[in-house]
Amino acid sequence: MNALVSSWQTFFSAEVGASAALTGLVMVAASVNLPRIMTHELLPGRAAEAVIALGGALVLSSLLLLPGQPAMAQGIECGLIGVLSLAAPFTFQLHAHRSSVPNSEARPVVRAMLSSLVGVPLVVAGGFLVAGAAEGLYWAAAGLILSLVVGIIGAWVLLVEINR
């Protein structure tokens, strides 16, 4: 294991478990409410945002636990997942913004900020890690924790809010 990551092994292991459990919760929430989700033009994108945030956290935490990776590879992984964590949700949000469906309850500005809070720290982490700086792991941790927050919010929307 990379010397930068070895002291972080417990953290990343916990993140793998938490993100896997929450990803499962989002998938169950989506399947339980699938008919309702599919009847609304904007809800499939909202569900995808939660899955991307949590799936990205799961994949990145798993990748950072791979033994023997150079810091540059870890930085590239963080950067790529960070870019995906920014680009995919913004695509769904742009669709929602352009939609004729009333979107005031979806809080698009809050959703955009949450997406940025996930992706930006991961991109910053990628830059630090490519440069070999251990500070990148703190940025990665911030992005991973925020991924869990975004996923929990998405699960709440899919389980509770769409049934109001």
Q: What is the pLDDT of residues 140-151, one digit of tens each?
A: 999 999 999 999
Q: Which amino acid is at 14?
A: A
Distances (CA, A) of 119 to 36, 116, 123, 133: 29, 5, 6, 19
**Least confidently predicted of 31-35, 54-58, 90-94:** 90-94
**Mean pLDDT value of segment 67-86:** 94
The whole-number pLDDT of residue 1 equals 45
Question: What DSSP state is assigned to residue 67?
Answer: T
The whole-number pLDDT of residue 44 equals 86
The whole-number pLDDT of residue 101 equals 66
Contact 85, 53 (CB under 8 A): yes
pLDDT bin (cut points 50, 70, 90) of residue 91 is: confident
Q: Which amino acid is at 134?
A: A
Query: Nearest-CA neighbor of 21 among 61, 65, 66?
Result: 61
Q: Write b or e for each residue in 64-73: b if 16 or more Cβ atoms lie within 10 A of its Cβ, otherwise e.
A: bbeeebebeb
Contact 79, 130 (CB under 8 A): yes
Distance of alpha carbon 92 from the chain centroid: 14
The whole-number pLDDT of residue 104 equals 60
Q: Which two tokens stand for residue 58?
A: 């799961």
The whole-number pLDDT of residue 98 equals 76
Residue-number span of the structural domain to which 18 is assigned: 3-163
Of the chain, the percentage scoring pLDDT greater than 90 comes to 52
Average pLDDT in the chain:
87
Domain count, the chain: 1
The whole-number pLDDT of residue 92 equals 80
